[in-house]
Chains A and B, each alone.
Chain A
Amino acid sequence: MNWTALPFSKHRGLSLPQALFTEPGWFFWAFRLPLRESLGYEASLLYPRATRIRVPQEAGDQTAVEYVLDTRAGGLAAVQLVPEAVGGDGGGSRSFTKPYIDLSIPSQLAPFDKTGGRIIVDFLKVSYFGSTGHKMTRERCERFFDTSHFRG
């Protein structure tokens, strides 16, 4: 798919998949704006994908994603994989689990939580590419959201 380069904003020149990897909170903020034509269409394609990313198969079928809350500063403190059996009871007293990676969670917990955004993108990079240092080029970001990493 040919993703449009953003003609505005601090992420001007990036495509929406790149913006999602750069600052997921910005994408979910922008999603609420009346984006026009191709950008609106692309955002509507991306939203369900970015909020239901499958845990990679290598992690095992019985794996859930645990989101740990930061009740001190507000927002998201950490994300980790846990056995689904642990996730089944809703996580710990400061955490909750989902069967997928949801990039919108930091911004839902705290609207301007850039740290939480970085935490979840790092978690995604480690889960899929093995390292937080994996360079996310435009092509890699777009390929990630083009392929079927998503739960229906």
Chain B
Amino acid sequence: MRLADVSDQPDPAALPSPVPSFLEACARLASEAAMRGDFVRARELIEKAARVTESVERSSAKTGTP
């Protein structure tokens, strides 16, 4: 039996970013919350998505990655 070594692990940089799916989920949940009239929840989710977007953009600007 061979033990897994570090070289077997996927390169984190090559993994797809979870950010788009997260933002999509926030948007979907926020629209569902607003649909049922729960605007407090909708606002929380929108603010969360906006914070993540801002943070990703800031980090991209620093590293120069798209």
> A: which residues have CB within 8 A of B?
67, 69-75, 90-97, 105, 108-110
Contacts and interface: CB of A to CB of B under 8 A. Distances in A.
Nearest to B23: A71
**Contact-residue size bin, chain B (C-beta under 8 Å from the other chain):** 10 to 19
Given A108-B39, A108-B43, A93 B50 contact: no
21 contacts: A69-B27, A69-B30, A69-B42, A71-B23, A71-B30, A71-B46, A71-B50, A72-B50, A74-B46, A74-B47, A75-B46, A90-B31, A90-B32, A91-B31, A91-B35, A92-B31, A93-B27, A93-B28, A95-B31, A108-B39, A110-B43
B53 A72 contact: yes
The 5 A-B residue pairs with the shortest CB-CB distance, nearest first, are A108-B39, A96-B35, A71-B49, A94-B27, A74-B50
Nearest to A89: B35
B14 to A, nearest CB: 27
Contacts of A93: 24, 27-28, 31
B50 A96 contact: no
Interface string B17-41: 0000001101110111011000100
B43 A97 contact: no
B31 A69 contact: yes
B52 to A, nearest CB: 9
